[in-house]
Amino acid sequence: MGWRAHRYAPAPGTLLCTVNSVDDGACKELRFGDGDGMLSLLLHRRGSEIRAYVNSCPHFSLPLNSRPDVFLLMAGSRIMCAWHCAVFGLDDGRCHEGPAQGMSLDCVAVEVRGDGIFVAEPSGTS
C-alpha cells in the first residue's frame, strides 16, 4: 500500500511547510491525523534540496524517532532509527546497515515552489 492511500495522506499540491522552516542538514517531522493511525512524514534539507519520506522504519514499522521531532542524524546524510539502529541514507532512503538492511524508506514526492514545499503530483499525471 503506497503512502498516498493512507487516510490522512496530504493531497497533491498541499503546502507541507516552508523551506526555511527546515534547518539545512536537519530533519523535520510533519504529522497528519491523530493517534495510532496518523501519518508521519520526515523532511530532510540539504542546501536547496529537499527529500521526504514516510517516517516509518521498515524493520518494525515504527517511526524513526522515539521522541517527537527528534532524529538521530549521522555524518554523510544518514539517519539512524532510534529503536533498533537501522541506518538509512537520506539521499535515497535505502538502509545500508542494521536490521532493515536491503529495505528502503517510502519516498514521498515533493516539489519546491518559491519558499514552499508541496506534495508533488503522482508521477505519470500532469
Residues found near another protein in the complex (CB under 8 A): 1, 21-23, 25-29, 36-37, 58-63, 66-67, 69-75, 80-86, 98-103
* Minimal distance, residue 75 CB to another protein, in Å: 7
Q: Tabulate helix, strand, coil % of the chain (nearest 5).
A: 5, 40, 50
What CA dihedral angle connects 120, 122, 124 and 126, to 10 degrees? -50
* Minimal distance, residue 113 CB to another protein, in Å: 21
* Minimal distance, residue 126 CB to another protein, in Å: 26
Q: Which is nearer to another protein, 77 or 109 (CB)?
A: 77
Say how far apart CA 106 and CA 77 lie, in whole Å: 17
